[in-house]
């Protein structure tokens, strides 16, 4: 169960992030960041500021190790908050991101050590790179590794939830069509009538210039339900095959045995028997 949830959350996270390349290639992202910082410190500070190497050593190391406990406290606070409120999705998402960056950090540390060893022994003289390569590598890589990882983690969370918030508050939605080219269409929420699934494909019915259009889209009904069926969007899954726009309902009929709703343009949509009363309560509230 945990494994399935882990994979599901990870797949969902990678699809919805505004920066898919960096999320799908965290090793590349972390490596480039650390390697640039590494070269800056090793070449610039030690080569051009020889008289103040010790001062800059203490300044940089002190700055990084002052910020690390702060970021650690913030991350622990966030995780504890997710645990207390029993938000499983956020817990797993949080752990996935941390595990990704721990792996990237270890990878980058090893790679930076090998780069430093190679440069010190085969290219530059040991004067530029300290004789004690292990100590020098740890001093440079460990602080920058944690610093960049925590910053990246924070930016990932911020951008991801900011994207979700903007999507929820927007009056437009972006939907991928089921075409070879993968064309995207942008629709106003108010133009959408309902979604219909027949197991093999999914169709969206919407109004365009007072004309009802039907379009096959590259989505699953479960995905539409997860993204649309919430108070912010105003959609509701009334049947195993239908998701309707609540603002388009003109009439609801039925009881605990069976029901149906009538939408604009006289579309009649079935309602599951266990959802009739729930739908009535939503409309009356």
Q: Is 98 in contact with 153 (CB distance < 8 Å)?
A: yes
Per-residue confidence at 179, pLDDT binned at 50, 70, 90? Answer: very low
For residue 219, pLDDT over 50 is answered with yes
Q: Is 148 in contact with 33 (CB distance < 8 Å)?
A: yes
Top pLDDT among 239 and 149 is at 239
Question: Cα separation of 63 and 262, whole Å?
Answer: 64
Q: Where would I find the H helices in the chain?
A: 2-16, 20-24, 26-39, 46-48, 53-84, 88-118, 133-169, 221-228, 276-284
Nearest to 35 by CA among 135, 104, 122, 130: 104
What DSSP state is assigned to residue 275?
Answer: T
Section 96-117 average pLDDT: 58
Give pLDDT, residue 5: 40
Per-residue confidence at 242, pLDDT binned at 50, 70, 90? Answer: very high
Section 133-142 average pLDDT: 56
Query: Which domains are present in the chain?
Result: 2-169 (no CATH), 172-284 (2.40.50.1020)
For residue 15, pLDDT over 80 is answered with no
Tens-digit pLDDT profile for residues 20-72: 444 444 454 555 555 545 555 554 455 444 545 555 555 555 555 555 555 55
For residue 215, pLDDT over 80 is answered with yes
Give pLDDT, residue 98: 58
Section 182-188 average pLDDT: 66
Section 208-232 average pLDDT: 79
Section 220-230 average pLDDT: 78
Average of per-residue pLDDT values in the chain = 64
């Amino acid at each position: 169960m945990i494994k399935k949830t882990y994979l599901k959350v990870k797949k969902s996270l990678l699809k919805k992030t505004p920066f898919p390349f960096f999320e799908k290639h965290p090793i590349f992202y972390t490596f480039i960041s650390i390697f640039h910082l590494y070269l800056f410190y090793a070449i610039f500070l030690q080569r051009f500021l020889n008289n103040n190497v010790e001062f800059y050593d203490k300044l940089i190391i002190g700055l990084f190790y002052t910020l690390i406990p702060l970021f650690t406290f913030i991350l622990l606070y966030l995780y504890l908050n997710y645990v207390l409120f029993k938000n499983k999705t956020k817990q797993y998402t949080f752990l996935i991101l941390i595990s990704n960056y721990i792996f990237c950090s270890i990878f980058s540390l090893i790679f930076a050590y090998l780069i430093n060893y190679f440069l010190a022994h085969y290219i530059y003289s040991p004067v530029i790179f300290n004789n004690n390569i292990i100590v020098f590598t740890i001093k440079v890589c460990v602080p920058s590794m944690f610093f960049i990882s925590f910053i990246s983690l924070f930016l990932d969370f911020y951008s991801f939830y900011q994207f979700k918030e903007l999507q929820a508050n927007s009056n437009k939605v972006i939907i991928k069509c089921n075409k070879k080219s993968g064309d995207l269409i942008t629709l106003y929420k108010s133009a959408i009538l309902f979604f219909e699934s027949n197991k093999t494909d999914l169709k969206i019915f919407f109004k365009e210039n007072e004309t009802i259009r039907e379009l096959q889209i590259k989505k699953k009904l479960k995905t539409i339900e997860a993204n649309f069926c919430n108070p912010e969007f105003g959609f509701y899954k009334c049947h195993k095959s239908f998701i309707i726009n609540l603002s388009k309902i003109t009439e609801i009929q039925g009881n605990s045995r069976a029901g149906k709703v009538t939408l604009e343009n006289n579309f009649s949509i079935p309602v599951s028997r266990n959802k009739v009363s729930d739908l009535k309560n939503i409309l009356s509230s």
